[in-house]
């Protein structure tokens, strides 16, 4: 049986992003995260139109 080699990709994160991702891990549902993400996007879009 051939041994599988797992490829690993890394990215650089700021401490603020790392901490935020860690907190997201403990949300009740992924749906809460998506709702917040949509709201942030909508707020950022409305700010561009001003």
Tokens of 20: 């935020």
Res 37: pLDDT = 85
For residue 44, give its domain range.
25-50
Q: Helix (H, G, I), strand (E, B), or coil: what is residue 36?
A: helix
Cα–Cα distances in angstroms (integers) from residue 33 to residues 5, 20, 37, in the given order:
33, 11, 6
Inside any domain, residue 20: no
Look at residue 49 and tell me whether its pLDDT is greater than 60: no
Tell me how far apart the alpha carbons of residues 11 and 14 are, in angstroms, rounded to a whole number: 10
Number of separate domains in the chain = 1
Inside any domain, residue 49: yes
pLDDT digits (tens, 9 = 90+) for 5-46: 878 888 888 999 888 887 777 666 777 878 888 998 999 988
Tokens of 8: 């690993």
Inside any domain, residue 34: yes
Inside any domain, residue 10: no
């Amino acid at each position: 049986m051939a041994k599988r080699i797992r490829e690993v990709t890394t990215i650089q994160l700021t401490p603020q992003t790392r901490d935020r991702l860690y907190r997201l891990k403990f949300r009740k549902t992924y749906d809460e995260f998506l709702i917040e993400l949509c709201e942030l996007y909508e707020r950022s879009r409305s700010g561009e139109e001003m």
